[in-house]
A and B are shown apart, each in its own frame.
Chain A
Amino acid sequence: MPLSTQSEAGDDQYILVASLDNVRNLSNILKAITFKDHALFNATPNGLKVTVEDSKCLQANAFIQAEIFQEFTIQEDSVSFQVNLAVLLDCLTIFGGSTVPAVTTALRMCYNGYGFPLTLFLEEGGVVTVCKINTEEPEDPIDFEFCSTNVTNKVILQSDSLREAFSELDMTSEILQITMSPSEPYFRLSTFGNSGNAHYDYPKDSDMMELFQCTKTQTNRFKMSLLKPSTKALALSCKVSVRTDNRGFLSLQYLVRNDDGQICFVEYYCCPDEEVEEE
C-alpha cells in the first residue's frame, strides 16, 4: 500500500499535524540552532519549540508560533519527541532548498505519538517525498532558571552591528568577554587571542542600540566555542537582545523575520565561564 494513502486514511489518529506552504520558514530557523544532532521538539497549542543543548552549558531554543503554520492541529496539551536534527534538516531540504522565491516546497509534518516516527510529506512541483524519521526518547531539557526579574543588564541591538563584530572576532581567543555597565564602556565585547586583545565598544546612544537598561557593571566570560553557533542565529535575525542575570548567565534573543515577513524567535542561554573580579 502506498504510504501516502496510509497517511491520508489515518489523519485523525495523528496527535500533531503541522502544515507549511513554504518549508523554508521552518528549515531556516532550525539551521540557526543546529550545533548538536539531538533536538527536542515540544508542541503546544501555541506552537512549536525546538531545543538543542551542548555540554550542559548552552541551550538554544527556536520558537515557531502556531500562526506561522497554515495548519497546526494538536490533540493534547503538550507533545514531546526527540529527533536527529541533521537528519530532519536533510529531509526538509530534500528538494535542494531552492532559494528562488517562486519555487517553494510545501510540508506536512505528522506525529502519531510516543514510539511512532515523525512523518514528513514534502511536495514541490507535484512531486511528493515521504520521509519517516525515527523519534528518540525525549530527554528533559535543562532549566537555566533565567528569570526576567533577575535580569541586571539588558541591551537590544540591531543585528547588523553585532554581526560585524562577530564576523571579526578573534577566534584564537578561547573566551568572549562581555562587559555591560551603566557607565563606560556600556557594552563591550572583548577577546584575548594570540595576537593581543581586542575590544568592541557600543556606546549607549548609538543608533544601533534600541534599548539600554544596565543597572550594574558586570563582566562575564563565555566560552567562544559555545557562543560560536549563535552566529547562525545572528545572521538570520534583525534584532538581538542581550541580557545577563545576577548569576552572570547570558541570554541572547534573536528576532527573526521569515520569508513571509512573520516573526519567530531564537534564544540562546549560556553559562559564564568563570567569575571575573568586577572593576
Chain B
Amino acid sequence: MDCMVTGGNVKVLATSIHSLSRIGEELYLEPQEDGLALRTVNSSRSAYACFLFGPLFFQRYSSSKSSTFRCKMAVKCAQAVFRSLSSLEKTVERCRIQLNSEKSRLTFTLHCKHGLLKTHNLSFQDCESLQAVFDKESCGNILRAQPRLLVDTVLHFPSSLEEVSVSVSGEQVCFRNHVEEKAEQGKAMLTELSLTAEEFEQFTVGCPACVTFCLKEMRGLLMFAESSGLPVSLYFDAPGRPVILSLTESVLEVNFVLATLSEDSHPCNDNRNKSTEGLQNAAPPDDFMNDDIDSYLIAMETSELAPGGHGCVPPPPQDANMGQLRARATSEGEEEQSEEEMGRAPNKKFCSLFFGSVLPTPSQVTNLTLRSQEVLASDSENEEEDATLL
C-alpha cells in the first residue's frame, strides 16, 4: 500500500487515530480496495470502531493488488506519529503512508514546514481482519444530529460516568446517567436531559426503547465528529442489541458499534413491557434481529465466519446474555486494564457505589463481593455456551 494524505486531511487522519485510541489498545490497519480501514476493538470486546477512508480521501491511493495484507500495532505507536493534534495543521503539509509487507515495514512520512521530514517506521504484527457484523439499516430508531448537540449533551455528565442510557419515545429523546442497582437509585445522583425531535436532523423512532451503553467510546467518536463537523447518526433498537454511532461523508465512513446492556439490567425502563412489545413489532423477519451481542463478538474474531452462520445461532436467554456482557466487562477489565487505566476508570461496581455515597457501608461492601463473584461464575458457564455457539 502506498498513499498520500495532504492538507487538512492529515488532521482528519490523525484525529481518527486519537479517537480510536480512546477505545482500544490496538490499531488494525487494512488497506482495502475501497479505501484504508482503521479499526479497533476494546479489551472487553464490547465496543468496535472503524474508520474507512475512501481512495478519494487521499491525494494518491494504491492498495497492494496482490494479496490482502493487514496488520495491527499498538495504537499508542501510531498516535506518537501525530503527537500534537493542535500544531499538526500548522506544521505538516503532507503525510505518506507506505506498507511494505515484504520488508515488514509500515512507514509514515510527514513532510513538514521548512523542509523538515519526519519518518516513522513502525513495527507491526500480522493479524486477521477485524470486522464486526452489524446492520444499521435494520435498526428501528435513527437519530441524526450535529456533533455540537451531542457534545453539549454529554458534557453534563461527569467524566467518571461509565454508562449512559438513551431512551426514545415519539417526540423526544432522553439521556440519563445509568445507575447500576435499583437499591442504590435512591441515593445516586441522577442527571437527565431531554431533547425534542426538532433538535435533530433526522428523528425516526420505529420502536420506543431505552438502551444503555458506555459513554467513553461515545466520547471518542464525538471527539472526532466535533473536529470534523460531520453530523452523527445513532442507530439502535432494543436493549441488548448494539447501538451504532455513525458518520458518513463521501470519502469517509465511520462506524462505532457499542454493546448495550440487555433488558433485565435496565432500571431506567419502567415501561419495560411496552418496549418489548415495540421490539417484537419492529423485528424484521431476518434472523439477525434475534441475534445477541455474542454473535457480534464472535464475528469480530474473524471475518472468515460466513455471514449466514448467524441464522443457526440460537438466541440465548436474555439474562445469560446480560450476565456475560457484564462479566466480560468486569473480569477482563480487572485483568487487563493497566494501572493508569484503573485509576481513570474504576471498576464498574465501585463506580456505582461512589455514586451512591462516598464510602460504602460494610454491608454494601459484602454485597459487592458477593455480586462480583456471582458474575464471575456466570462468565465461566458462558464460556461453555460460547463453545456451543461456535
Contacts and interface: CB of A to CB of B under 8 A. Distances in A.
B116 A206 contact: yes
Contacts of B74: 195
Given A164-B87, A199-B119, A206 B114 contact: yes
B83 A168 contact: yes
B114 A201 contact: no
A239 B114 CA distance: 15
A205 B115 contact: yes
B118 A195 contact: no
Interface in A182-224: 194-203, 205-208
Contacts of A205: 115
Nearest to B83: A168
B22 interface: no
Contacts of A161: 114, 116
Given A168-B83, A195-B74, A195-B80, A202 B122 contact: no
A170 interface: yes
Given A164-B91, A168-B84, A196 B121 contact: yes
B380 interface: no
A198 B119 contact: yes
A196 B114 contact: no
Given A164-B91, A168-B84, A198 B118 contact: yes
A202 B77 contact: no
Interface string B66-103: 00000001101100100110010001000000000000
Contacts of B148: none
B272 interface: no
A197 B123 CA distance: 8
Interface residues of A, number: 20
Contacts of A197: 120-121
A208 B123 contact: no
B24 to A, nearest CB: 16
A207 B74 CA distance: 35
A201 B121 contact: no
The residue in A196, A199, A208 that gathers the most chain B C-beta atoms within 10 A of its C-beta is A196
Main secondary structure of the interface of A (DSSP, over half): mixed
A201 B118 CA distance: 6
Contacts of A203: 115-117
Nearest to A197: B121
A22 to B, nearest CB: 31
A205 B114 CA distance: 9
Contacts of B118: 165, 168, 198-201
Given A195-B123, A196-B123, A201 B116 contact: yes
Given A164-B91, A195-B74, A200 B117 contact: yes
Contacts of B80: 168, 170, 195, 198
Given A164-B87, A170-B80, A195-B73, A200 B123 contact: no
Contacts of A207: 114-115
A196 B71 CA distance: 14
A201 B77 contact: no
The residue in B73, B91, B120, B121 that gathers the most chain A C-beta atoms within 10 A of its C-beta is B120
A195 B77 contact: yes
Interface string A156-193: 00000100110110100000000000000000000000
Given A195-B122, A198-B120, A208 B114 contact: yes
Contacts of B117: 199-201, 203
Contacts of B83: 167-168
A124 B23 CA distance: 51
Contacts of A167: 83-84
Contacts of B122: 195-196
Contacts of B76: 195
A145 B121 CA distance: 37
Nearest to A200: B118
A173 to B, nearest CB: 11
The residue in A165, A168, A203 that gathers the most chain B C-beta atoms within 10 A of its C-beta is A168
Contacts of A201: 116-119
Interface string B111-151: 00011111111110000000000000000000000000000
The 6 tightest CB contacts between A and B, nearest first, are A195-B77, A196-B122, A201-B117, A206-B115, A203-B115, A199-B119
27 contacts: A161-B116, A164-B116, A165-B116, A167-B84, A168-B80, A168-B84, A170-B80, A195-B76, A195-B123, A196-B77, A197-B120, A197-B121, A198-B119, A200-B116, A200-B117, A200-B118, A200-B119, A201-B116, A202-B115, A202-B116, A203-B115, A203-B117, A205-B115, A206-B115, A207-B114, A207-B115, A208-B114
Given A195-B80, A199-B119, A203-B115, 11 more contacts: A161-B114, A167-B83, A168-B118, A195-B122, A196-B121, A196-B122, A197-B121, A198-B119, A199-B117, A200-B117, A201-B117
